[in-house]
Amino acid sequence: MSNNPQVNLAGLTWLLPSPALRQRFAQQGIPVPTRLPVRWVRPLAPGKAQVQLPGAIARALHLPPFVTAPETHLRPASLV
C-alpha cells in the first residue's frame, strides 16, 4: 500500500490536473477543471498510483480509462 495516507482509500479521490492534462483539455476545447473525480485503483512505483478516470472524460480526452498519477496530485474527496 502507499506510504501517503491521503491516497490509502477506496472510492472517490480528486485528481489535481497536471500541466500536461490541462493542455489536453485545452487542445480538445474543454474547460480545464480545478480537479477531476477519479477512482483510486492501486499503488504503482513509489509516489505513483493508478487511477480510473470517468469514462466520458477519458473518451473526450482520448485517454485510456486507467492512468498513472503522481500521489502528490491526489486528494481524498472528503478533504476537498
Residues 30, 22: contact at Cβ < 8 Å?
Answer: no
pLDDT single digits (tens) 9-41: 567 899 999 999 999 999 999 999 999 999 999
Amino acid at 21: L
Q: Facing residues of 25 across strands?
A: none
Threshold 0.85, pTM exceeds: no
State residue 25's pLDDT score. 96
The better pLDDT of the pair 29, 5 is held by: 29
Domain that holds residue 74: 5-79
Residues 32, 20: contact at Cβ < 8 Å?
Answer: no
Total of domains in the chain? 1
Nearest Cα to 47, choosing from 25, 15, 72, 76? 72
Domain harbouring 58, CATH code: 2.30.30
Q: Is 67 helix (H, G, I), strand (E, B) or coil?
A: strand
